[in-house]
Structure 1
């Protein structure tokens, strides 16, 4: 029985292969693929066409041995299932497109030890910069960020001291603003519904600002309901039923995010509760989810896409050795919708 001939051993394509296919020197091929140097458009297109036809992918790690950098930007966020963070990534991508820098995402699931391990792996690739959610990190993670010798931008929060640069809103200010609007509207019996906050530092800061501002108006949170795990409409319905059954005279519910706030709104409408007359509601984040509700939930826009854009701009400018701001604070904006009396 005849054996099938063995396939020729595969080998890694090199610059020489692209050089021979395009008819230009290896040095020129290198310049084109690294987007460096003065090369005519015709030559550039010839090289790119040859590389594409061959299926050649540059070994950027090898090319980084001299520069000690690769053209990757590590973007470390808690989750992509949370609607907040895809908008941040959109803003990052909008700016980095065309710069030669490519975002690579790492997920931490809100766990400090997971963030530490993700950061360790990503820094081992010697990226050109790091964009990381939040200001709170383990001592080991903070040490890695400080010693990385690359631009680091902490995002989504400015209530604290950054390792390098930070972009976002003040969550304490956001909480104060919502409390002031609720008090001004005449609500007095207020309930808070949100995530268990030891690991959600931004929600904790909003709650602190919220309660501080209420106290100045002689008010306090009359009841609270917390949950762990992911946000969902069903979770918002369940929590709202629980808190209203337990404390029947509440006249306002403040949710730590729009997802559970939307679930709460749907529960109230199903029960025939007059919103915002009998009870007012507000969430946080200003997500597109709210556009599909029967009535518009009050919320607060935290500038997520703009946060991503500003952070990426800092990384891109630092790559060109340009000076940048160390603190970029965006202004949260209340969207009153139809569930918060004005």
Structure 2
């Protein structure tokens, strides 16, 4: 009897199998392997690491999976290998576009690898982060990504005991848990002072939100105050509130700040949303920007370049962080040694019309 090429064999089986009977019960990996004409090991490899099998084999497996409505049993795979294909990612905010851009870049960097992200929102709370890490650990993750360098003692203990790649992001530290990818928040605050000085500012102000929880914003403020003293400025006056940043909050904050300190001529806001509200308030009050008042934000959100005047801001490497994290994880999970553990991606001050 003549041998039938594997591709032709699959098509023959698919055509002859009653379509309504395929996938009517829970399919197993063995069923996919039989239908695709390959071993179960090849099916597992095609699903977990598709780049390690040929396009022809991957196509046969994919078609068999679709016909059988096969769904991988992630927990079974985790029990067999002691590690799932899950990567836990804990971020401090689900609505902040800083972190959503980082996660999106991370997903793009991991595309085709078989790894899936399990995302948790700590809401800027180390206690919530600790609970989320404990939950993720129950899934035997392949790796965990944490935001920032400050964590509870129990979170650090769990991370160290897990014996998996741990990547911290969005900050820098000389002593990361494992690997850290980010930039200096303090330096970001310092560069704003330098820019204000170059633009002839004399009296500095600062507007911040959630400084009781967002210690990255606190670090930017600390760098701003340090650099102001070094440059010969009087201590910056400040207005802070503990609500989530909003344009309305930025407007109210600038109005209150200027009422108390009318000699302020340059204001740094901890993010662009507050700065946008400040721009609106300046227009309502008839304060010329940048003639009477210079305003700088942080984040370089999409509206910053479109506002009037266009907003000067500090641009963090949002997407680059996610791309580098994915690169580090794939290298480590591929069995390569840790090598470099601190990645400083820097930032950029984008000077526009508001200063």
TM-score by length of 2: 0.88
Q: Residue 72 in 1 paired to residue 81 in 2?
A: no
Contact 1:73/1:127 (8 A) holds in 2? yes
CA contact (8 A) 1:193 1:253 kept: yes
1:55 to 69, 74, 77: 69
Richer in helix (by share): 2
Preserved contact between residue 91 and residue 146 of structure 2 (Cα < 8 Å): yes
Kindly state the Cα deviation for residue 36 of structure 1 after the two structures are TM-superposed.
6.9
Q: Which one of 310, 316, 321 corresponds to residue 296 of structure 1?
A: 310
State the shift of 1:159 in Å.
4.2
1:193-272, aligned counterparts within 5 Å? 193-272=207-286
Aligned to 2:341: 326
Q: Is the 8 A contact 1:236 1:262 kept in 2?
A: yes
Change (3 A) 1:16 1:330: closer
1:101 Cα deviation from its structure 2 partner: 1.7
Q: Which residue of 2 aligns with 1:116?
A: 130
Alignment partners' CA distance in 2, 1:254 and 1:36 = 48
Q: Compared with structure 1, are the counterparts of its residues 170 and 51 closer, same or farther at alpha carbon in structure 2 (3 Å cutoff)? A: same
Question: What stretches of structure 1 of length at least 5 have no aligned partner?
Answer: 1-9
State the Cα distance separating 1:33 from its structure 2 match: 2.9
| Structure 1 outlier segments of 4+, above 6 Å | none
* SS in structure 2 of the partner of residue 32 of structure 1: helix
Match of 1:317 in 2: 331
1:83 pairs with 2:97: yes
| Cross-structure match for 2:8 | none
Q: Is structure 2 residue 161 aligned with structure 1 residue 147?
A: yes
Q: Is the 8 A contact 2:225 2:236 kept in 1?
A: no
Cα displacement (A) at 1:232: 1.3
Aligned residues between the structures: 331
Moved more, 98-107 or 307-316: 98-107
Tell me how large the CA RMSD over aligned residues is: 1.9
Q: Is it true that 1:337 corresponds to 2:348 in the alignment?
A: no
Q: 1:268 to 1:98 in 2, by over 3 A?
A: same
Report 1:120-135 matches (<5 A). 120-135=134-149
Which residue number corresponds to residue 7 of structure 1? none
* Aligned-partner SS, 1:226: strand
User: Aligned partners of 2:52, 2:315: CA distance in 1, in Å?
Assistant: 44
In structure 2, stretches of 5+ residues that fail to align are 1-23
Q: Work out the CA distance in 1 between the residues paired with 2:246 and 2:344.
A: 29
Cα separation, 1, equivalents of 2:81 and 2:198? 58
